[in-house]
Amino acid sequence: MDFEKLREVFAYNPQAPMIFSSGVFLWFFAGFVIVYALLKKASTPRILFVTLFSYYFYYKSSGVYFFLLAAVTVSDFLIALLMGHTVRKGLRKALVAVSLAINLGLLCYFKYTGFFGEVVASITGGTFGASDIFLPVGISFFTFQSLSYTIDVYRRQIAPLKSLPDYAFYVSFFPPLVAGPIIRARDFIPQIRKPLCVTKEMFGQGVFFVLCGLFKKAVISDYIGVNFVERIFANPALYSGVENLMGVYGYALQIYCDFSGYSDMAIGIALLLGFHVNRNFDSPYQSASITEFWRRWHISLSSWLRDYLYISLGGNRRGKFRQYLNLIITMFLGGLWHGASWNFVVWGMFHGVALALHKAWMAVAGRRKEERRGGLRRVAGVIITFHFVCFCWIFFRNATFDGAMEMLGRIAFNFQPHLFGQLIDGYRYAFALMLLGFLLHFVSGKWEAAFSRCVIRLPLIGKVALMVLFVYLVIQVKSSEIQPFIYFQF
């Protein structure tokens, strides 16, 4: 036996992190499911086993930085436990402030040290030499997830857990660990000690979500990303305006299929293990307003920002002006959450201002009338909202602000529509997948529900055959190198 090759398989490899769409994960997950099934009636050993596997899964994604996950887990568990035994409001505030300091302190150090250092250096006229700080995968997700628990305990919306293994299971549960959805303690913790039960409907829905996510990520997102989108964004100045615009449309589909694909697989795997995780996307490009878009896009983050930031700032309780300001501040910080770059700040500010303007328009036009509009008005709203979101994606995707402005300049002043035919001919397969992706996105939810019911009704051998077919399709289409999920960098 070649022990060196075996060690390479089990050890962390920064060039090949373990992701749901990789063959390595499928083999590990197959072994995991066997042990998981054997521990079906032994809840505590099963909880410990899943937690250990989750930590190993995180190790395969970020190496030794799994100790940060452990540090956050232990500290917030103890803080919440102390809050549960504390009556004095001042002490409870101090304890939740400690939780905020630990979680946000870790997030700021690993994610924003270089950015803030460069900002200070530019203001003072000095220089800043940022050390090579590794950004642990998923740190933005598990810190927010753990924070929601301590804040809920502080608000007395949930009681603190008495069992550290149960809390470790909640924070580290591997399907949504590194890229969401951000699961709430009040939704997930009550499921931990319930008798394990995977119904036929849960199993069928789990298979459906896994297949949908695999198709979105490995077939559509990876192919159009590698073979078209990345080439355009690498150097927008080399391409005409029409090529840049198509690249933006391609990225809009790529990031949706990539991120919603991960969420679908996470939800599906959780269902196969007997757990319900809330949906994270709801056909966001069908939105007729920016407010509706944020009800449909990255639902777990937008609801987290609403419940723990926007409402804490005062929400809509302190007058219209303060409401609009709170929206802008929330989205500014939401943009900063995505990354330490002025591009993300600008992206967040654009969305914040757009949300404030839409709220103001709704106050004038009437909320009910605005939400009930249909027909051509809704079609116009969908087109306008989609193009505004695409405009913002230009800043989100480009590595520099200059790159974003270059792309906008090419689209505005060097469009060259006559090149469209050559573009389609040169990237025919990428455009075919883009067309398919958008058609599937805009298809009625009834079609999706019908396909889900068909998968649920299939016998076990039919579900296995369908999964084998999808895996074969992925092998034929996927690129030779592993394409990490886009949100791993956030």
Rounded to whole angstroms, the Cα distance separating 16 from 487 reads 16
Pairwise CA distance, residues 320 & 418, whole Å: 48
Residue predicted with more confidence, 8 or 300? 300
Kind plus residue range of the DSSP H or E element containing 421:
helix 420-426
Alpha helical stretches, state H, 19-42:
23-38
Catalytic: 338?
A: yes
DSSP per residue, 320-343? HHHHHHHHHHHHHHHHHHH-SSHH
Q: 0.75 exceeded by the pTM?
A: yes
The catalytic residue among 85, 276, 298, 338 is: 338
Residue 264: the pLDDT is 93
Residue 126 confidence (pLDDT) above 80? no
d(CA 398, CA 421): 26
Burial of 460 (0-12, 13-18, 19+ CB in 10 A): exposed
| Sign for the pseudo-dihedral over CA of 304, 307, 312, 314 | positive
Confidence of residue 7 (pLDDT cuts 50, 70, 90): low
Q: Give the integer Cα–Cα distance in Å for 419 and 471.
A: 36
Tokens coding 317? 């309780």
Q: Which of 175, 187, 193, 185 is nearest to 273 (CA)?
A: 175
Nearest-5° Cα angle at 72, 256 to 52: 80
d(CA 402, CA 267): 38
What does the pLDDT read at residue 120?
Answer: 65
- Asked if 203 contacts 218 with a C-beta cutoff of 8 angstroms, the reply is no
> pLDDT tens digits for 136-193?
888 888 999 999 999 999 999 999 999 999 999 999 999 998 877 999 999 999 999 9
The 10s digit of each residue's pLDDT in 437-448 is 999 998 877 788
Between the alpha carbon of residue 267 and those of residues 169, 184, 210, the distances in Å are 16, 14, 8
- Average per-residue pLDDT in the chain? 87
Structure tokens at 282: 């709801």
3-state secondary structure 203-238: HHHHHHHHHHHHHHHHHHHHHHHHHHHHHHHHCHHH
pLDDT per residue over 403-431, tens digit each?
A: 999 999 999 999 999 999 999 999 999 99
CB–CB of 169/47 below 8 Å?
yes
Specify whether the CB–CB gap between 284 and 438 falls below 8 A: no
Residue 24 tokens, joined = 């390595």
The residues, ordered by sequence, that sit 6+ positions from 241 with a Cβ below 8 Å of its Cβ are 410, 411, 412, 413, 414, 415, 416
Between the two ends of the chain, the Cα-to-Cα distance in Å is 39
Residue 371 pLDDT > 90: no
Of the pLDDT bands very low, low, confident and very high (cuts 50, 70, 90), residue 478 is low
Question: According to the 3-state scheme, what is the secondary structure of 462-480?
Answer: HHHHHHHHHHHHHHHHCCC
**What pLDDT is stored for residue 100 in this prediction?**
93
| Nearest of 386, 343, 304, 275 to residue 489 by alpha carbon | 343
**Prior bond of 181 cis (ω within 30°):** yes
pLDDT tens for 9-36 read 677 776 767 777 676 787 888 889 999 9
